[in-house]
Amino acid sequence: MGTITTADGTEIFYKDWGSGQPIVFSHGWPLSADDWDAQMLFFLGHGYRVIAHDRRGHGRSSQTADGHDMDHYAADLAALTEHLDLRDAIHVGHSTGGGEVAHYIAQHGEERVARAVLISAVPPIMVQTESNPGGLPKSFFDDLQAQVAANRSEFYRTLAAGPFYGFNRPGVEASEAVIQNWWRQGMMGGAKAHYDGIVAFSQTDFTEDLKKITVPVLVMHGDDDQIVPYADSAPLSAALLPNGTLKTYAGFPHGMPTTQAETINADLLEWLRSS
């Protein structure tokens, strides 16, 4: 574990375990590198070097007042890969982290990148616009910000106990430990970063980013995702990517890397070994 300091003075916390081809994990909103525990241990055990950072304002990184946008997220990721001199890296992003990965590769180039994986990811764009009529209305995200501002502790508990992991679905048994771990990670971060981050993940248009990415990209998404609806995300992203592969999971929720880790890890390993 360590930290780097970016050009604007932000301290970014990261974990770096093992040796071999690097896999870099970018987490979702409003979590931290800890959300990748199941993946990092699994791929470490299969001979990969595994790296995950806390996004600025999240987890153990600096709780900065500014810079909570995709340009800064991508620049921070670029600074980390340069600091560690990563080559032939595989970048895996969940939810907001998927947008971060796409923006990083498109804006900072593919010289250090071998492959990418977008899991339950926000691209191409979440908010409803004239060109994206299937998106969620801006009022939906305005309400999320209002809940963060009013009582984010209560809001985070409700989100984790309900739609994030699909625990609100009939017949699905909720895990109190998973809910509390989600809440713990969220409350470690800064309210300002989380408030601004809602705009970053919902209003950033990644369409042109996706078109620029030529490395192989695996798009993994559950069709019962209640956070990033499937129809307006994964199939559209896969179609925009020059070398994209879509993997759809029937009934899987947004937080499937945690609740369905065994399946996600096995499929991801198989794809990485496919060529």
Is 225 annotated as catalytic?
Answer: yes
User: In a 3-state reduction of DSSP, which class is residue 77?
Assistant: helix
Sign of CA dihedral 161, 156, 52, 204: positive
Strands 244-249 and 22-26: unpaired
Instruction: Tell me the β-bridge partners of 50.
Output: 17, 23
Catalytic site residue from 76, 225, 233, 237: 225
Both tokens of residue 202? 């919902």
Compute the C-alpha angle 263/13/161, nearest 5°. 45
Question: Which of 53, 68, 194, 254 is labelled catalytic?
Answer: 254
In the set 95, 120, 233, 237, the catalytic residue is 95
- How are beta strands 89-94 and 113-119 bridged, if at all? parallel
- Is the separation of the CB atoms in 161 and 237 below 8 Å? no
Find residue 91's DSSP bridge partners: 24, 116
21, amino acid identity? Q
209 is catalytic: no
What is each CA distance from 42 to 120, 149, 212, 248, in whole angstroms?
19, 36, 30, 22
Report how far residue 223's alpha carbon sits from residue 245's, in angstroms, rounded to the nearest whole number. Answer: 16
State yes or no: is 254 an active-site residue. yes
State the catalytic residues.
95, 225, 254
